[in-house]
Amino acid sequence: MRATTGIFAVIWLLVTVFGIQILNLTPANADTNQSKVALVVGGLSNPFFVKMAAGARQYADDHKIPIDVFGADREADVERQISIVEDLIFRGYGAIVIDPADSTRLLPACKRALAKHLAVIIVDTPLDPQSLRKENVSIPFVGPDHRFGGQQIGEYVSRKLKGRGRVLVIDGACGRESSILRKTGFIDAMAHSPHIQMVADQRMDGCSDAVFPVAMKLLRKYNPVNAVFCTGDPAALGVLHALDILDLHHKVLVTGYDDIEAVRYEMYNDRIQASVELYPERMGRDAVRLAADAMKGLPVALLTTTPEDVVTSDTFHKKVLFTFSSLENPFFKAMQQSAQNMAKILGLDMTFSDTHNNDAAQLSEIRSAIQRRVDMLIVNPANSDTVAPGIDLAAQHHIPVISVDRRITEAPVLCHIESDNREGGRMAARIIVDKLKGRGNVVEIEGIPGAGVTLEREKGFSDALAAYPDIHVTDREFAGFNRDDARRVMLRLIQKKTPFDAVFAQNDIMMLGVLDALSGEKDAPSRVLVGFDGIPEALQQIRWGRMTATIAQKPEDMGRLAVQCAARYFRGDTIPSLLTVGIEPVTR
Kindly report, residue by residue over 505-517, the tens digit of the pLDDT: 999 999 999 999 9
The whole-number average pLDDT for the span 68-97 is: 90
The whole-number average pLDDT for the span 141-169 is: 96
Least confident among 104-118, 169-183, 466-480? 169-183
On whether both 368 and 427 belong to a single domain, the answer is yes
pLDDT at 6: 43
Helix, strand, coil % (nearest 5) of the chain? 45, 20, 35
In angstroms, rounded to a whole number, what is the distance separating the alpha carbons of residues 139 and 119?
9
The whole-number average pLDDT for the span 270-288 is: 97
The enclosing domain of 508 has a CATH number of 3.40.50.2300
pLDDT at 11 over 60: no
Least confident among 131-145, 166-180, 380-394, 540-554? 166-180
pLDDT at 18 over 50: no
Domain extent at residue 154: 146-277
| Residue 108 DSSP symbol | H
CA atoms within 13 A on the CB side of 267: 30
pLDDT at 60: 96
pLDDT at 316: 96
| Residues 45/83, Cβ–Cβ less than 8 Å | no
In angstroms, rounded to a whole number, what is the distance separating the alpha carbons of residues 75 and 73?
7
pLDDT at 299 over 60: yes
On whether both 183 and 290 belong to a single domain, the answer is no
174 band by pLDDT with thresholds 50, 70 and 90: low
**Among 15-29, 431-445, 521-535, which range has the highest average pLDDT?**
431-445
In angstroms, rounded to a whole number, what is the distance separating the alpha carbons of residues 213 and 204?
12
The whole-number average pLDDT for the span 133-158 is: 96
Could you list the beta-strand ranges (E) of 144-237: 165-171, 196-203, 227-230
Per-residue pLDDT tens over the stretch 327-364: 998 899 999 999 999 999 999 999 999 999 999 999 99
In angstroms, rounded to a whole number, what is the distance separating the alpha carbons of residues 359 and 326?
10
pLDDT at 398: 96
Per-residue pLDDT tens over the stretch 238-269: 999 999 999 998 899 999 999 999 999 999 99
The whole-number average pLDDT for the span 381-390 is: 91
Least confident among 70-79, 157-166, 554-563? 70-79
3 band by pLDDT with thresholds 50, 70 and 90: very low
pLDDT at 7 over 60: no
In angstroms, rounded to a whole number, what is the distance separating the alpha carbons of residues 452 and 147?
39
On whether both 499 and 537 belong to a single domain, the answer is yes
pLDDT at 19 over 50: no
The whole-number average pLDDT for the span 471-499 is: 96
Q: What pTM does this model have?
A: 0.84
| Residues 533/550, Cβ–Cβ less than 8 Å | yes
Per-residue pLDDT tens over the stretch 185-240: 999 999 999 999 999 988 876 567 788 999 999 999 999 999 999 999 999 999 99
On whether both 253 and 318 belong to a single domain, the answer is no
On whether both 87 and 174 belong to a single domain, the answer is no
On whether both 426 and 540 belong to a single domain, the answer is yes
| Residue 480 DSSP symbol | T
Q: Mean pLDDT, the chain, as a whole number?
A: 91
φ, ψ for residue 21, nearest 5 deg:
-100, 140
On whether both 421 and 300 belong to a single domain, the answer is no
Compute, in degrees rounded to 10, the torsion defined by CA atoms 279, 283, 286, 290: 170
Percent of the chain past pLDDT 70, that is, above it, reads 93
Least confident among 81-95, 161-175, 324-338, 361-375? 161-175
pLDDT at 10 over 60: no
pLDDT at 75 over 60: yes
Q: Which residues are within 8 A (CB) of 172 and not within 5 positions of it... i.e. 6 or more apart? A: 179, 204, 205, 206, 211, 230, 231, 232, 234, 235
On whether both 116 and 152 belong to a single domain, the answer is no
Strands 471-478 and 119-123: unpaired
Question: What are the beta bridge partners of residue 586?
Answer: 550
On whether both 43 and 81 belong to a single domain, the answer is yes
On whether both 351 and 474 belong to a single domain, the answer is yes
pLDDT at 138 over 70: yes
On whether both 203 and 219 belong to a single domain, the answer is yes
Least confident among 9-13, 368-372, 375-379, 519-523? 9-13
pLDDT at 26: 42
The whole-number average pLDDT for the span 126-154 is: 95
pLDDT at 104 over 60: yes
Question: How many separate domains does the chain show?
Answer: 3
Better-scored residue on pLDDT, 77 or 489? 489
| Residues 257/182, Cβ–Cβ less than 8 Å | yes
77 band by pLDDT with thresholds 50, 70 and 90: confident
14 band by pLDDT with thresholds 50, 70 and 90: very low
| Residues 356/326, Cβ–Cβ less than 8 Å | yes
In angstroms, rounded to a whole number, what is the distance separating the alpha carbons of residues 293 and 288?
9
Domain limit, last residue, from 277, 293, 325? 277
On whether both 300 and 320 belong to a single domain, the answer is no
